[in-house]
Amino acid sequence: MNVLMLEWDSFGQEYIYQAFKDQGCAVEIYPWPFGAEDMRENPELEKALKEKVKRGGYDFVFSLNFFPVAAKVCFECGVTYVSWVYDTPYLLLYSKHIQYETNIVYLFDKSLYKEFRNRQLNNVYYLPMAAPVEVYDRVKVEKESFCSDISFVGSTYQENRQDFFALIENANPYVKGYLDAIINMQKEVYGSFFLDKVLSEPILRELQNICPIPKGEDEWESDEWLYANYFLARKLTGLQRMEILQMLSENHRLSVYTPENVKELGIWSKGPVDYISEMPQIFKGSKINLNMTLRSIQSGIPLRAMDIMGCGGFLLTNYQADFEEYFEAGVDYVYYTDNEDLLYKVDYYLEHEEERKQIALNGYHKVQANHTYKHRVQTILQMVRNR
């Protein structure tokens, strides 16, 4: 098959490219200006892509994440457009252009997949994330500094760009108190996301006055969804991650790899790490790898969790329902239910080395057998062939 792949600074694109090649596809890379140009309405970009697609004789166009401009062009050219969305929340997904019959859209969060199917979008499918196990198998831990009892790789969401919450300081005390209350409620509940459902009309009007969010003509997401997923869920995730990291750092050897400066919060960060060359070494060298899922991911298995298991690392994560479909808790990975349970399981698995190593090995074999980029590309190609 001939594939035109839209290339941008995304995780895993080199692994997908190689998987397509290994399946006998001819893959041509097309530089894609995501982050630099408008992905909803962009006549110049549409014209350039349309000329490329018409001349190329491609069986389908592929991208990581969904782009309305690409969907529109492929529809007009009568060419299949396959996208695999790994970001959540992802605003561009809520576009009128998603409905085209030429689209095949894969989502890694089953709850989100069900939401879109309930809207009669039958070109949306569920596809979990993957790990390049064959690449990770070649990685050796080269630095002692990458070895730790517990490690966390990711954002703490303490960025200065949380302008929304600076603006909230101008809101009346009732609104601030209400938002704090619903965030604290959601903090105690995994497996169900309800922040968008408890934003009452008066609260929503106040948020719209304080922090109005303009929408494009093709957008159809609700304001409740926007405020809950882009702001409140992000704030909640930051609060939870900092609370847990501070708790663990008191009595454990904890390594945190994050781009944010969190020293003043009592946590020493080793800074960001390279996704390809350094992150696998951390997962292999850590006794326990901690995953704390962004709360807007309702049930999906995060890419980070697949990477940990694909490296043969021991995964300790919050509860996410999609794990149950492919992995067995306590056998392939371990999940915690609250902070007390997290502390207990950290201490237990640090003390029970053989059990910990066996669970890590079981998770690795499950990913190796069923969740590599080869498996995902085979699923994609079969879907395209069956159209």
Residue 123 — left, alpha, or beta (φ > 0 → left; ψ -120 to 50 → alpha)? alpha
Indicate if 196 and 109 belong to the same structural domain.
no
Indicate if 64 and 181 belong to the same structural domain.
no
Indicate if 167 and 39 belong to the same structural domain.
no
One DSSP character per residue, 36-99 reads TB-SSS-HHHHHHHHHHHHHHT-SEEEEES--HHHHHHHHHHT-EEEEEE--SS-GGGSBGGGG
- Which of 102-116, 149-163, 171-185 holds the top average pLDDT? 102-116
- Determine whether 47 is exposed, middle or buried from the number of CB atoms within 10 Å of its CB (0-12, 13-18, 19+): exposed
Task: Give the model's pLDDT for residue 337.
Answer: 94
CATH of residue 104's domain is 3.40.50.2300
Indicate if 298 and 350 belong to the same structural domain.
yes
Please choose, from the candidates 175, 228, 223, the residue with its C-alpha nearest in 3D space to the C-alpha of residue 202: 175
Of the pLDDT bands very low, low, confident and very high (cuts 50, 70, 90), residue 216 is confident
**17-49 pLDDT, tens per residue?**
999 999 999 999 999 999 999 999 999 999 999
Between residues 216 and 203, the one the model is more confident about: 203
The tokens for 67 are: 């782009």
Indicate if 210 and 342 belong to the same structural domain.
yes
Total-model pTM: 0.95
Map tokens 């085209």 to a residue.
100
The C-alpha torsion from 375 through 322 and 248 to 177, rounded to 10°, is 130
Of the pLDDT bands very low, low, confident and very high (cuts 50, 70, 90), residue 191 is confident
Indicate if 193 and 220 belong to the same structural domain.
yes
Indicate if 106 and 145 belong to the same structural domain.
no
Whether residue 161 has pLDDT greater than 70: no
Residues, the chain? 387
Indicate if 272 and 322 belong to the same structural domain.
yes
**262-285 pLDDT, tens per residue?**
776 677 789 999 999 999 999 999
d(CA 249, CA 255): 9
Indicate if 296 and 239 belong to the same structural domain.
yes
d(CA 97, CA 110): 21
Structural domain containing residue 215: 135-370
d(CA 203, CA 223): 11
**47-63 pLDDT, tens per residue?**
999 999 999 999 999 99
Indicate if 216 and 353 belong to the same structural domain.
yes
Task: Give the model's pLDDT for residue 164.
Answer: 74
Average pLDDT over residues 131-140: 97
One DSSP character per residue, 343-382 reads HHHHHHHHH-HHHHHHHHHHHHHHHHHH-SHHHHHHHHHH
Indicate if 142 and 117 belong to the same structural domain.
no
Indicate if 292 and 161 belong to the same structural domain.
yes
Task: Give the model's pLDDT for residue 211.
Answer: 87
Question: How many separate domains does the chain show?
Answer: 2
Average pLDDT over residues 355-377: 98
d(CA 382, CA 114): 22
Task: Give the model's pLDDT for residue 261.
Answer: 77
Task: Give the model's pLDDT for residue 143.
Answer: 87
Task: Give the model's pLDDT for residue 368.
Answer: 98
